Amino acid sequence: MKKFLRISAALAALAVSAISCTDRTQVLKVYNWSDYIAEDVLEDFEQWYEAQTGEKIKVIYQTFDVNESMLSKIEIGHEDFDVVCPSDYIIERMLNTGDLLPLDFAEIPDSINYIKMNRAPYIEGMFRSINPDIDANDYSVAYMWGTTGIIYNKKYVTPEEASTWNVIRNPKFANKVLIKDAPRDVYAPVLIYLKQAELAAGNTTLASLMRDSSDESIAAVKDYLLSVVKNGVYGWEADFGKEDLTKDRAWVSLNWSGDAVWAIDEAKNVGVDLDYIVPEEGSTVWFDGWVIPKYAKNVKAATYFIDFMCRPDIAIRNMDETGYVAANGAREVLESQIDEEYEPIDLTYFFGEGADSIRVNPVLYPDAKVIARCALEHDWGQDTEKLLTMWQEVKGAE
């Protein structure tokens, strides 16, 4: 895997001013997570777009680290990004607030309609469940997906220790723990951990915990996180944590599966042995999808861009670069990942019948048994503010 290229804010700003005199139809403003694309595909898109439409396009690419900061730029700042990549529960919120344009791929010829060709039924189903009233598939196309779990250094941490969320406050790993700076993605596993007895007794479900924004639950998660802080954390990270793991500075990380794939791979090169586990108590399965916000100024290029991201060879390049797994049902994508070094796993839920023993990296494609103990996060509406306040208080308590 190559090292990531980062476009600095300064460079992005320069690029924006350089094209400010250009016709806006020749500019596509993409707002994506950092470390989440093979950046050379952006240039390829410019060429492909011109070949398909006869029109020139310049991509202005900007990145964010956290869903919530991206959202406020659009919701409050009304910034005119043409295509952005929020997570499932943010897509739900943008649907609820009417901030998204419906997608229309009618103009794209069938021969290059990669969305139509490669939609995975599993992803379509999960997107349908985002919002019971509005089908998210009409407003969003999934880009990458994965789970939330624990990355751990096998030299210091056993699989048993890592198989519970409580590893983040295990005194053995004090000051060696990294926590993703993503409030919802930390709140959910901690709440699952705290409610494990009720889950086991059948008095609650993972799905209902994903909607639990009650004061009691927020307070319980806050108390728990304060005890984690007291035990000692190495840091709260958005993207730099991968390096702390590969350099042996941190041993445990509450993180996303794609960061795990990247870190495990990089660590191997320097003799550090990392692994990833989705704790037994349960976790989240998440999806990030391309959407076109209502303030977009170049809907046509945004539509083509989303389609281009679904082209199997482009999806594979993005996967190889980032460590994340494309939400792409193309056989070609699956085949690019098959490797005899892995034990066979059941992927029928994603690739259909016949995919019941596929040798792929189980961190990328979780086995059906892992998926069965994961749930999708949901939007909390106005209650989100309570969580963000709690989050600042916990981080400030260090």
Instruction: Give the x-and-dash track for 33-62 against ligand SPD (CB under 6 A).
Output: xxxx--------------------------
Using the contact rule CB under 6 A, the part of the chain among 31-39, 42-50, 119-127, 344-352 near ligand SPD is 31-39
Selected binder of ligand SPD within 82, 92, 281, 288 (CB under 6 A):
288
Chain centroid offset of residue 187 CA:
16
Contact criterion met (CB below 8 Å) for 114 and 316:
no
Quick one: 184 or 300, whose CB is closer to ligand SPD?
184
- From the number of C-beta atoms within 10 Å of its C-beta (0-12, 13-18, 19+), residue 255 rates as buried
Quick one: 36 or 305, whose CB is closer to ligand SPD?
36
Q: Which helix (H) or strand (E) holds 152?
A: strand 140-153
Using the contact rule CB under 6 A, the part of the chain among 30-38, 149-157, 208-216, 306-314 near ligand SPD is 30-38
Minimum distance of ligand SPD from residue 184's CB (angstroms): 7
Q: Which residue type occupies 340? A: E
Minimum distance of ligand SPD from residue 149's CB (angstroms): 12
Using the contact rule CB under 6 A, the part of the chain among 29-37, 163-171, 311-319, 343-351 near ligand SPD is 29-37
Q: Does residue number 87 form part of the binding site for ligand SPD (CB under 6 A)?
A: yes
Minimum distance of ligand SPD from residue 353's CB (angstroms): 29
Question: Which of 60, 54, 81, 59 lies closest to 70 in space, CA to CA?
Answer: 81
HSE at residue 81, side-chain half, CA atoms within 13 A, is: 25
Contact criterion met (CB below 8 Å) for 79 and 73:
yes
Q: Which parts of 176-195 interact with ligand SPD (CB under 6 A)?
A: 185
Contact criterion met (CB below 8 Å) for 218 and 386:
yes
Minimum distance of ligand SPD from residue 366's CB (angstroms): 14
Instruction: Give the other-Cβ count within 10 Å of 126's Cβ.
Output: 20
- What's the CA gap between 277 and 164, in Å, rounded? 9
Q: Which parts of 243-262 interact with ligand SPD (CB under 6 A)?
A: 256, 258
Q: Which residues bind ligand SPD (CB under 6 A)?
A: 33-36, 87, 185, 239, 256, 258, 286, 288
